[in-house]
Structure 1
């Protein structure tokens, strides 16, 4: 349990640095570059991330599980790591060639050739991202500290050198440079484990293709939404959607940090047939994500306007509708993440995860073009919300046989939901008449603080939420009462 707490700490450090990067860079970049230039970068980066995900073949998830299985055997550890790394190198080289052809041949891609050159570099070097190796060994400190430093340096460079909309290429150069440098350092840290002699790549092909297919299918209705908007509509709408999606991503990232560190431990529990320990850990995880997701959703929905205004500026206010639609995904994605990565993956049922995403992709493709054509960025948000709800429902169906011993209180969930709506809704409404004028940031901080305080008091003393009461008792101990 101590190792889990330590890993959660470092994973929270990792996600906090990501959140800090977004909270610092997004307001600055959205104002400096504006919707059109930011839309250009988002269009190119979405296509680039699509190819990077494809080149990884699902190894970032599969690799964690496989490394966790052999972590006690140095010979097997080197062999498994080298095999998966070699697969990544081969697929990255192939995808680099495909991406290069598209950039040279497609007019829409060729028009952004300078930006795509930076994307091509990311795809080529994506083979050397080995974070999954350290995560499989439960060494989250290496990943967290390296990523923290890289993001800190990139934030400083952006604030110093990017001054106006003409610096769009410089901005993406800094962004890509930080990503590439992170890749190089990641490889150098794991270089001593590489041994390309006596490898057996075939044994990984079937499970790797299953994980790859899942990530590939998911990317179609997530990352490619920005590409679809860019093709069907103006790139300004790409900026609206991607900016709202980034805010949603910041909101959900911290919650997912709790789930991702459990993959190695749950895989080990399954190997040792420790079902009670696994059920206890999963029950705790479900309780955490539900209790933390609902107030985050409430903030995104009741404060959509102020959040957009503070983080992005007045020119991005049309993205409010996107943020409102994406807010429920904080809970939906968190639950899907637990069902797929913490329940189905450790027991070897990743094919059920694939089936759920395939059905989701088919559903998304049936509605996405009509919705984007009719409602532009809002249509993309609607299609994503509907698709992820369908996938979550299917994952729940597939995971049902493994949920028997997991304790989830529907009464607690309902009370938490009602408490969120009342506390955040009533306090927000009350502050519309008395909120400080002039400074939007001050008004936002005061209102969020008031909402949070009222919500915590209700959860601890009225609904008597178990998790929040535990945190309250822990806080009392820390301050010596």
Structure 2
């Protein structure tokens, strides 16, 4: 399947992941309140840390190795069987450790349901093998499965969540959706591979897996450490504010980072075939794509943070508005980091460099969280997150430039930045007509998008016209012209 179609299906996946929280979170946040959201966010963050611990870095490593084996059925089945076996055995050990930790820990003393749901959350993740379908480029299956799962989630949320005490049901629905996706993924895999236990070679995978595992675990720790440390050094409501703010930013990140995973198999193939110019071209297009979308998105988020929080979570979460503004730069930072890490370092077998960057970022994150959260609470967690991600960006950029001599089109970057700054006077003019309400938000966002597109058209921006406007005109043909 071509990159264009893969991107379309991955974009559909991303669109689903964007729309579902937009539809559900405003309702859930208003029913459960900051405390309920805080409790479930803490539980999810803790469980995800153990899920990453059990995954052993296979979700990224597996994409690359499956992509290399694609086209050879015997090799594909062997590689799949090796990776699934490693994942399963290690996951059982991690699940046992988590069970022991739950038994002896007093973390969930008053939350028995949350305790057992956390255990089931980790257990169900063993069957999530999206890395296999990404490696063989079956993005259509991933998108359809995700869509079905999300529809089920939406239905159950609106039917079952009725009062603040239903926060455990909120987590139950998430775990149920996760478990059903895992079961279907495993069952469907038999159409593509034959699982075997004969002639497997685990040793060749261990070194790269352990390096990527260390990297992914470190990422998971610093991504989830903010929520975990907020729970211990602050009050549950602060966790709720932070969760609401980070949720908005992550929703916007989905569309911007959707291209990254799609390109891993293709770039891995180009590197294997020694085609440096093709790799360089893809990387430069990816950078331009991220910058083109990131600057206007950041500007719109900063200028409408209060409106977004009011619409998305309700007035009870208004303290999160400043957090949204502070987190907005992550849209660009993480978008670029994903390019350097997932499109260059991982396909180039430079897991060690990726790990170095992440470990440095992890140390900075822990130090800053320890210093800032007790003083600034959720604002401290946000500052730590932004500095951490910026550190990761700088280091992955440094290591990537050693491998691929891609160019940064500074003129193009400056152009997109300056056009995005036009949103400031636009916001002021619209606010004179509409008060700070839903009408202001809708009018401003619509006007800003139109202004951005019209200015780019007036300037005859080649990248915008060739890779965004032309595909829109032609439906989906020639998407990104990759």
Q: 1:125: Cα distance to partner? A: 2.5
CA contact (8 A) 1:103 1:113 kept: no
Cα distance in 1 for residues equivalent to 2:7 and 2:469: 20
Q: What CA deviation, in whole Å up to 9, does each residue of 1:211-268 have, x standing for no partner?
A: 1000111112111211111111111111111111111110111111111100000000
Whether the aligned pair in 2 keeps the contact of 1:229 and 1:237 (CA below 8 Å) is yes
- Flag the 1:84–1:476 CA change in 2: closer, same or farther, 3 A: closer
Matches within 5 A, 1:160-199: 160-191=159-190, 192-199=193-200
Q: Who is 1:447 aligned against?
A: 444
Please, what TM-score do these two structures have when normalized by structure 1?
Answer: 0.95
Give how far 1:341 is off. Answer: 0.7
Is this contact kept in 1: 2:37–2:243, CA < 8 A?
no
Q: Could you tell me how far 1:46 is from its partner in structure 2? A: 0.7
What value does the CA root-mean-square deviation take over the aligned residues? 1.4
Residue 9 of structure 1 corresponds to 8
Which of the numbers 461, 468, 473 marks the counterpart of 1:465?
461
Q: Distance in 2 between matches of 1:94 and 1:298?
A: 46
Distance 1:173 1:135 in 2: 27
Q: Tell me the CA shift for residue 473 of structure 1.
A: 4.8
CA contact (8 A) 1:83 1:200 kept: yes
Q: Distance in 1 between matches of 2:461 and 2:183?
A: 46
Partner of 2:214: 213
User: Following the alignment from structure 1 to structure 2, what is the Cα–Cα distance between the partners of residues 240 and 304?
Assistant: 13
User: Are the aligned partners of 2:276 and 2:404 in contact in 1 as well (CA < 8 Å)?
Assistant: no
CA contact (8 A) 2:249 2:331 kept: yes
Alpha-carbon distance in structure 1 between the residues aligned to 2:16 and 2:449: 23
TM-aligned CA deviation for residue 356 of structure 1: 0.4
Counterpart-to-counterpart distance in 1, 2:306 and 2:17: 23
For 1:99-135, what per-residue CA distance to the aligned partner results, in whole angstroms no more than 9, with x for missing partners? 1122222222333231121111121222211110010
Counterpart position of 1:411: 411
Residue 477 of structure 1 deviates from its aligned partner by 6.2
Shift in Å, 1:90? 1.3
Between 26-35 and 166-175, the greater mean CA deviation after superposition:
166-175
Structure with the larger RCO, 1 or 2 (CA within 8 Å, 6+ apart): 2
User: Partners in 2 of 1:402 and 1:294 — Cα distance?
Assistant: 27
Distance 1:474 1:206 in 2: 42
Gapped runs of 5+ residues in structure 2? 476-482
Q: Where does 1:316-395 land on structure 2 (aligned, <5 Å)?
A: 316-395=317-396
Equivalent position SS for 2:199: coil
| Counterpart contact for 2:127–2:186, Cα < 8 Å | yes
Rounded to whole Å, the distance in 2 between the matches of 1:474 and 1:267 is 26
- Looking at structure 1, the residues matched to 142 and 457 of structure 2 have their Cα atoms a distance apart, in angstroms, of 35
The question of whether the paired residues in 2 share the 8 Å contact of 1:82 and 1:194 is answered with yes
In structure 1, the residue matched to 2:73 is: 74
Return the alpha-carbon distance in structure 2 between the equivalents of residues 477 and 82 of structure 1.
42
Which residue of the partner structure matches residue 32 of structure 2? 33
Partners of 1:245 and 1:33 lie apart in 2 by: 17
The residue aligned with 2:479 is none
Q: Is the 8 A contact 1:308 1:317 kept in 2?
A: yes
Seen in structure 2, the aligned counterparts of structure 1 residues 127 and 451 have a Cα distance that, compared at 3 Å, is: same
Residue equivalent to 1:242: 243
Q: TM-score, normalised by structure 2?
A: 0.95
Aligned counterparts of 1:313 and 1:188: Cα–Cα separation in 2: 41
Q: After TM superposition, give the deviation of residue 58 of structure 1 in Å.
A: 0.8
Mapped partners of 1:81, 1:110: distance in 2: 40
What secondary structure, in the 3-state scheme, does the structure 2 residue paired with 1:402 have? coil
Q: Deviations over 1:442-462 (max 9, x none)?
A: 321111111111121112213
Contact 1:460–1:472 (8 Å) recurs in 2:
no
For 2:90 and 2:471, how far apart are their aligned partners in 1?
Answer: 49
Q: Is the 8 A contact 2:54 2:90 kept in 1?
A: yes
Q: Deviations over 1:270-303 (max 9, x none)?
A: 1111111111111111111110111111111111
**Secondary structure at 2:107 match in 1:** helix
Separation of aligned partners in 2, 1:155 and 1:110: 30
For 2:170 and 2:471, locate their aligned partners in 1 and report how far apart those are by CA, in whole Å. Answer: 44
Q: Which residue of 2 aligns with 1:225?
A: 226
Cα distance between partner residues in 2 of 1:6 and 1:301: 33
In structure 1, C-alpha distance between the alignment counterparts of 2:163 and 2:276, rounded to whole Å: 57
**CA distance in 2 between partners of 1:235 and 1:472 (Å):** 45
The corresponding residue for 2:89 is 90
Tell me, in whole angstroms, the C-alpha distance in 1 between the residues paired with 2:89 and 2:19: 34
How far is 1:476 from its partner?
A: 5.6
Alignment map for 1:136-175 (pairs within 5 Å)? 136-175=135-174
Instruction: Answer with 395-404 or 377-386: which moved more.
Output: 395-404
**Do the aligned partners of 2:125 and 2:178 also contact (CA within 8 Å) in 1?**
no
State the shift of 1:358 in Å: 0.6
Structure 1 segments unaligned to the other structure (5+ residues): none
Give the drift of 1:309: 0.6
SS at match of 1:194: coil
